[in-house]
Amino acid sequence: MKVRVQIIVEADDDSPPSVHEVAQVERTDLHVDTLGLHLTEAKDLRQNVQEVVVAEQVHRCLDEQAACLACGRPRRHKDATTIVLRTLFGTVHLRSPWWWHCVCRPQPTRTFSPLAAALPERTTPELLYLETKFSGLISYGQSASLLAETLPLGRELHATTVRRHAQASAERLEDELGPEQPMFIEGCQAEWDALPRPDLPLTVGLDGGYVHSSQQRSRRDGWFEVVARKSMPSDGASKCFGFVQTFDRKPKRRLFEVLKAQGMQTNQQVTFLTDGGDDVRELPLHLNPQAEHLLDWFHITMRLTVLNQMAKSVRSRDNPNLTTELGQELERLKWYLWHGNVFLALQTITYLQLDADCGDDSSEQRKLSKAVAEFGGTFAPTQRRYQAMASGFGPARPFPARLSSQPSIRWSASAWSRSNRCAGHRVGPICSSRSAPAS
């Protein structure tokens, strides 16, 4: 059996359609390995179709401009060059004529090339998109191999080309990004109320981590902090992204644009979960008037565990029971935090510091005292209320069902905005939970 694939090109005028044969497939017996098109046949087919379609498009483009659009006089031919264009389905070589401009009207140049004007880029956007997308997932070399394996690229694709294209795409996106702003909330409550009904709440988790150089010579040499985020709409795909806090000049704008791309409206509920660190806690402020800023319970317990381990190494000549007392204080602190009692939690932190300072003047005692002070600083700027929640994006246990129905004592930015927006107050709402810890 022989299968022939033809393309029929129908012109806009009354001229008869032209037929181009682009592929032939021959098959005899039916086997699983002879079923349908092979990869090489599919690549050849797509390349041949591409060549015919491109040739027809170029022919039509040149035909339309062969005569002066103003007076209809045929243009004079000056020269011709070849344009090489990389497409998803092959590298096409286009003969690009240079024509003299018609003298009926003044022109900035004496000659021009209609194809060069229509095709200023040498790589099609779809090929750039795939190169950039794959290079974000795997190495440049593997991206090039994968694309060459599946697509009839027509010429060898080098890793450096993929890298250059990814870099150019990134720079273009960077240039298109708007300026950094301290606040992205626009409008007033009346405008937000007039918006269409928003989607279900959006949850955004932010976390920071340190990357150390393998060749670092000192503790502070060759490391940087990476902030990673995951944005999870109630329905639809979640989106992960990250950046280097110290390098990125528009972190807030970047986060805002990602949320906007996911359809965030100013009347939509957005929940930001952070570990309470200064940098990641400041970042999501003033992005959405309905936003809630919550602390991630996993990070709180992680820090409490570290404090517990530090407390076990503190000794006091005057108080042999100091380690036990510190452990009890920390357990009490955890209890208060889970129940949203920031007042007593901060009081316990003060007691902890006093107790830690009672220890012998050793490095362990100083470390514990410093760590307790830093931990207290996580809550001190937001002494209203806070809510500790277990997030679904960290290594902690998944979102407990009983936490999904939150208590009524929430302090949302919208309430703040209605009452204090013009007073220039900061948005720093932290809410409270009434559920007991599972462990």
**Residues lying near Zn ion in the complex (CB under 5 A):** 68, 70-71, 73, 102, 104
Nearest distance, CB of residue 104 and Zn ion, angstroms: 3
Q: How far is the CB of 59 from Zn ion (least distance, A)?
A: 22
CB of 68 to Zn ion, least distance (A): 3
CB of 114 to Zn ion, least distance (A): 15
Q: Cα–Cα distance between 256 and 186 in angstroms, integer?
A: 13
Give whichever of 69 and 261 is closer to Zn ion, judged by the CB atom: 69
Cβ proximity to Zn ion: between 55 and 68 the closer is 68
CB atoms within 10 A of CB 170: 13
Pick the closest to residue 96 from 85, 107, 110 (CA basis): 85
User: Is the CB of 76 or the CB of 155 nearer to Zn ion?
Assistant: 76
**Smallest distance from the beta carbon of 112 to Zn ion, in angstroms?**
13
Least Cβ distance, residue 267 to Zn ion (angstroms)? 57
Please, what is the minimum distance in Å from the beta carbon of residue 204 to Zn ion? 59
The CA distance from 19 to 418, in Å, is 68
- Asked whether 228 and 209 are in contact (CB, 8 A), the reply is yes
In the complex with Zn ion, the residue whose CB is nearer, 73 or 370, is 73
Long-range contacts of 8-16 (CB under 8 A, 24+ apart): 9/52, 9/56
Q: Which residues pair with 74 in a beta bridge?
A: 67
Q: Which two tokens stand for residue 341?
A: 């009692």
- Smallest separation, CB 67 to Zn ion (Å): 8
State which residue, 4 or 76, has the beta carbon closest to Zn ion. 76
Nearer to Zn ion, 65 or 91 (CB): 65
- Our CB check for Zn ion shows the closer of 91 and 113 to be 113
What CA–CA distance (Å, rounded) separates 311 from 331? 12
C-beta closer to Zn ion: residue 68 or 346? 68
Give helix 322-338 / helix 297-311 axis angle, nearest 10°.
Answer: 170
Least distance CB 116 / Zn ion (angstroms): 20
**Nearest approach, Cβ of residue 75 and Zn ion (Å):** 9
Nearer to Zn ion, 83 or 102 (CB): 102
What would the DSSP string read from start to end of 247-272? T-S-HHHHHHHHHHHTT--TTS-EEE
Angle, vertex CA 253, rays to CA 281 and CA 121, nearest 5: 145
Q: Whose Cβ is closer to Zn ion: residue 77's or residue 212's?
A: 77
Spell out the long-range contacts of 177-184 with Cβ–Cβ below 8 A and sequence spacing 24 or more.
177/250, 177/253, 177/254, 177/257, 178/253, 178/257, 179/250, 179/253, 180/249, 180/250, 180/251, 180/252, 180/253, 181/252, 181/253, 182/252, 182/286, 183/286, 184/252, 184/253, 184/256, 184/286, 184/287, 184/288
42 exposure class (CB count in 10 Å sphere: 0-12, 13-18, 19+): middle
Contact 56, 12 (CB under 8 A): no
By the 8 A CB rule, do 19 and 6 touch? yes
